[in-house]
Amino acid sequence: MSNNAAEKTNNGYRGPGLAVLDKHGVGVWSDVEVKTTGGKFRGIILPRSETSDDKHIVLKICSGYNIGLAAETIELMTEHGSRKANYQIAEQEFPIEPGKPNVVLFGTGGTIASRLDYRSGAVIPAFSPGELYGSVPELADYCNLRTEELFSVFSENMGPEQYVELAKNIAQAIEYGADGIVVGHGTDTMHHTAAILTFMVQNPPVPIVLVGSQRSSDRPSSDAALNLICAIKTAAESDIAEVVVCMFGPTSDQYCLIHRGTRVRKMHSSYRSTFRTLGDVPLAMIDPKSITMFREEYRKRDPKRQMIINTNYSDEVTLLYYYPGMKPDVLEAMIETGYRGIVIAGTGLGHVNKPTYRALKLAQERGVHVYMTVQTLWGFAGMYVYETGREMMKLGVVPLANMLPEVAFMKLSWALGQSDDLEEVKSIMLKTIGDEITLREPYNGYLLYQGAVPEVQEFLKSIKR
C-alpha cells in the first residue's frame, strides 16, 4: 500500500491507471475506444474503488459486463463522448394497499443492498421502499413494504453485536404486527446469520426470510431481482413461520429454493445457485407465481404464537478445521487464550490425530466445551465406530450428529451465552431447536443434492409427499 498520502487520485484512479487516462485525455464516464496489445474494446470508463489496484482501468462494455484493462497494454484511447452515471434511482412511491400483508425489510448490507446503474456500473444504494419499487416494481404485487437499514456491511463484518441488534429489531417489528420479515444480507455469511437467528428468535409467528444476491445487478445475469421477489413473496404469502434463506435454485432464472436456516450453506463462491440445503431437502421452491412445498413438517404461520427472544451470546467460542499433521499447540493456544467453547470440524466420521489428544485432555481439565462435527458436511459424526472416536469421547468431546460445523459454532456461542455448566450446555446443544440435528438424511439426498439440473427438480418432485 502506498504511504504517500498526497498521491493524486481521480475517481479511484491513481498511479499507472490514472497516468494512462491523462495521457490520452480521457477520464471517468468517457465513452472510449481502446486499442490494447490484446485487441480493441469499446465502452465507458467506470470509477474505481479506492482500494482497487492502480494498474487497471475498468470499462463497461456494451454487453453490460465490466472488464479490466491493464494500463501497460493500452496503446490508444479515443473518446467518442461521455455518459455520466445517474446516481439517482427513479424513486416511486411504494403503493400502500390496505389488506395486503405488511412486510418489513431490514438491510444489513452486501451486494443486495446496492444497485449498480446499468449504464454506468456505479454502485448506488437502493434501499428505501421507493427505490426498491423503482428497481423492482413487482414487489408491490405482494405486500406493503417498510424498509430499515440497520447496517451497511459486507457480511464478513457481521458479528455478535449485529446479530443481537438484528434479532431485537426483528422481534420488535413482529410485535408491532409485521406479517413477514425479510433480511437483506451479504451471501458469504448468510448461513451463519440464519443459524443464529434461529436460536435467538425462537417460535416466530411469521416468516423470517434472509435474502441476498450473488451477482451485482449491473450484470445481465444478476440474481438480485428474482431473489428479492421470491423472498418478499415468502415473507408475505407463505405459511412457513421459520427462519429461512430464500435464494436462487437451479442454474437458470426459474425459481428460488427456500432453505431452513440451520441446514443451509453457501456452497459455491460465484454460482448464483450457491445455497444448498445439506443433510435434508429444502423446504420449498418458489417462483413469482407459486410456492411448492417439499416438506410437510414445518412450523406454520400463527399470529398468536408467542416468540421467545434470547440474544445471550458468548464470543469465547471458536471453530477449528482439523488438518492432517496438526500439532496440539493449535488447540492448546485456543485454550490458553481463554476460549470456553471449541467446535472441531474433524475428518470423516469426526476424527483428529493422536497428538491432538494431549490438547483435548487439557481442554477437559480446564472445563472447556469441545464438540465434534464433520468436514464432509453430509453425514453424521460417528464416534462409536472407531476406537479413536471412543477415546476422544472419554476426553470430553461431544459428537454433534449431523449439525453443520458453522451451525454448531453459532449454537455453541449462543449456548455458552446461557450457561457455562458442561452438562447444561450439552443438553442445550443436543436439544434440537430448528432441525440443526435431524434423525436421518433424505433417501438419496447426497447423490442428487449437489445442484445438478434437472436431476434436482426430478428428485424434488419424487420426494414430495
Which one of the listed residues 60, 147, 179, 187 is annotated catalytic? 187
Among 144, 214, 373, 413, binds ligand ASP (CB under 6 A): 214
Contact predicate 379/402, CB 8 Å: yes
Considering 60, 108, 111, 318, which one is annotated as catalytic? 111
Query: Among 181-189, 242-250, 307-315, 353-361, which window interacts with ligand ASP (CB under 6 A)?
Result: 181-189
Question: Is residue 212 part of the contact set for ligand ASP (CB under 6 A)?
Answer: yes
Residues numbered 238-257 forming contacts with ligand ASP, rule: CB under 6 A: none
Beta-carbon contacts of 322 under 8 Å, excluding residues fewer than 6 positions away, are: 344, 345, 346, 347, 351, 352, 353, 356, 375
DSSP 377: S
- Give the range of 36-44, 61-69, 186-194, 376-384 binding ligand ASP by CB under 6 A: 186-194
Is 206:177 a contact under the CB 8 Å cutoff? no
Question: Is 154 near ligand ASP (CB under 6 A)?
Answer: yes
Residues 65-124 touching ligand ASP, rule: CB under 6 A, are 110-111
Q: Has 187 been annotated as catalytic?
A: yes
- Cα–Cα distance for residue pair 53/67, rounded to 1 Å: 14
Q: How far is the CB of 214 from ligand ASP (least distance, A)?
A: 5
| Burial class, 294, CB count within 10 angstroms (exposed 0-12 / middle 13-18 / buried 19+) | buried
Single residue of 188, 237, 316, 435 touching ligand ASP by CB under 6 A = 188
Beta bridge partners of 210: 183, 245
277 annotated active-site: no
* N-terminal to C-terminal alpha carbon distance within the chain: 58
Q: Does 187 bind ligand ASP (CB under 6 A)?
A: yes
Backbone angles phi, psi at 290, to 5 degrees: -145, 160
* 155 contacts ligand ASP (rule: CB under 6 A): yes
242, 216 Cβ separation under 8 angstroms = no
Residue with cell 404486527: 177
266 is catalytic: yes
Asked if 261 is part of the footprint of ligand ASP (rule: CB under 6 A), the reply reads no
Please pick, among 60, 117, 179, 188, the residue that the annotation labels catalytic: 188
Q: Which amino acid is at 258?
A: I
Q: Does 184 bind ligand ASP (CB under 6 A)?
A: no
User: For ligand ASP, which is the closer residue by CB, 212 or 279?
Assistant: 212
Residues that bind ligand ASP (CB under 6 A): 110-111, 154-155, 186-188, 212, 214
> What is the set of active-site residues?
111, 187-188, 266
